[in-house]
Amino acid sequence: MQNSKLCFIGAGFHASTNIYPAAIEAGATIQAVATRNLERSQAALLQFGSSGQAYDHAPQMLEQEACDGVVVVAQPADQTRLALDVIEAGHNVYVDKPLGWNAEEATKVAEAADQAGVIVMVGFMKRYAPIYQKLKTIIDGGTLGKVRSFQMKFAVDSTPFCENEEQFIKLAAIHMVDLMRYLFGEAIQVTGTTVRDGKYINQSISLIFDHGVTGSAYFTGMSAWSRESESVLVTFEHGFALADEINKLTVHKSRQGDQLPWKSLEEHDAVYTPSGTPMSGAYRDLYLRGFVGEMKHFMACCQTGTVPLSSARDNVGTMALCDRILSSFI
């Protein structure tokens, strides 16, 4: 695959820490950067070793630059408008989540993308994280039989950027909500409870999916969880799989046979982990969290015209599930 020439809108902390480095690691060339400040755009180009063009006006960049795709990583309140601007200019676009604050806004973006004939990909990086791609392969492969149930946990200190339950679901827990759909399909029943004390949020959600999978999710946003934590436990007909903290997947296949399993050493687990080495530097995290994977996927889709796994149309389903979870709280 040839290197892609990408233009960027935004150069904040998340973009500079995760998206720019991941794009470069994936093989992208940074062709241009647009922010509200010309010096900031120039600084971003310098930081990532690009000799590209700096802009302080995104529409000007969209008009003057011919590129394979545009990466939008801005404030959530601005991303939908910016994505629509990119679509109108006829460029493929990657947009960080959330794209549209609800299903209605997400639908407008998807329709605009369809009419313009451009690729729109939403940054749900967990779909591209190695641990969840491996888990998805096990689910689809059927080696452990049919999926029966799952338990999901996500805990983070959301107090600096979330004021209420809706912001928590759509700015923090949204990645796990999208992961449910990626792994298990579409939810047909959602019930939930929430307890909020100021900015402290605790949510418990029960779901039934269209293939008969039942699941429960525990989401919490509290300062107690400055050490962010997540896990997904999937129970199959013939075993279970535990994805723990993005870097360890334990797969257990139930023993089959006449002899009682406690009479001998018959039980065993397969454990998948990345290697640990200082040679990885900061790139290990970019790979394990899915940032490099999603950039590679976006670039490949731009070059081949393939619909992204996390497309604008698919994003409608995730935003709709977020809205259903919020409306289910009692």
Query: Crossing angle for the helix pair 174-184 and 312-328, nearest 10 degrees?
Result: 110
**Mean pLDDT value across the chain:** 95
Neighbours of 279 (CB within 10 A): 8
pLDDT for 263 equals 80
**Sequence spans of domains, the chain:** 5-124+295-304, 130-277
CA 232 vs CA 126, 173, 235, 329: distances in Å: 12, 14, 10, 22
Please tell me whether the peptide bond between 98 and the residue prior to it is cis, using omega within 30 degrees of 0. yes
The tens digit of pLDDT for each residue in 178-203 reads 999 999 999 999 999 999 999 999 99
The tens digit of pLDDT for each residue in 104-147 reads 999 999 999 999 999 999 999 999 999 999 999 999 999 999 99
Contact between residue 127 and residue 294 where contact means Cβ atoms under 8 Å apart: yes
The tens digit of pLDDT for each residue in 30-69 reads 999 999 999 999 999 999 999 999 999 999 999 999 999 9
* C-alpha to C-alpha distance for 131 and 143, rounded to whole angstroms: 17
DSSP codes of every residue in 152-210? EEEEE--TTT--SHHHIIIIITHHHHHHHHHHH--EEEEEEEEEEETTEEEEEEEEEET
pLDDT for 154 equals 98
The tens digit of pLDDT for each residue in 215-242 reads 999 999 999 999 999 999 999 999 999 9
**Which pair of tokens denotes residue 123?**
């940054």
Handedness of CA 208, 213, 214, 217 (dihedral sign): negative
pLDDT for 147 equals 97
pLDDT for 2 equals 63
User: Candidates 2.60.120.260, 3.90.950.10, 3.20.20.140, 3.40.50.720; correct CATH number of 5-124+295-304?
Assistant: 3.40.50.720
Judged against a pLDDT cut of 80, whether residue 330 lies above it is answered with: no
Per-residue confidence band for 289, with pLDDT thresholds at 50, 70 and 90: very high
pLDDT for 175 equals 98
The tens digit of pLDDT for each residue in 307-323 reads 999 999 999 999 999 99
DSSP state of 27: T
Please check whether the domain covering 130-277 is classified as CATH 3.40.50.20. Answer: no
* C-alpha to C-alpha distance for 312 and 83, rounded to whole angstroms: 10
Q: How many CA atoms lie within 13 A of 33 on its CB side?
A: 30
* C-alpha to C-alpha distance for 274 and 256, rounded to whole angstroms: 30
Mean pLDDT score, 277-293: 91
pLDDT for 12 equals 94
Q: What residue type is assigned to position 46 of the chain? A: L
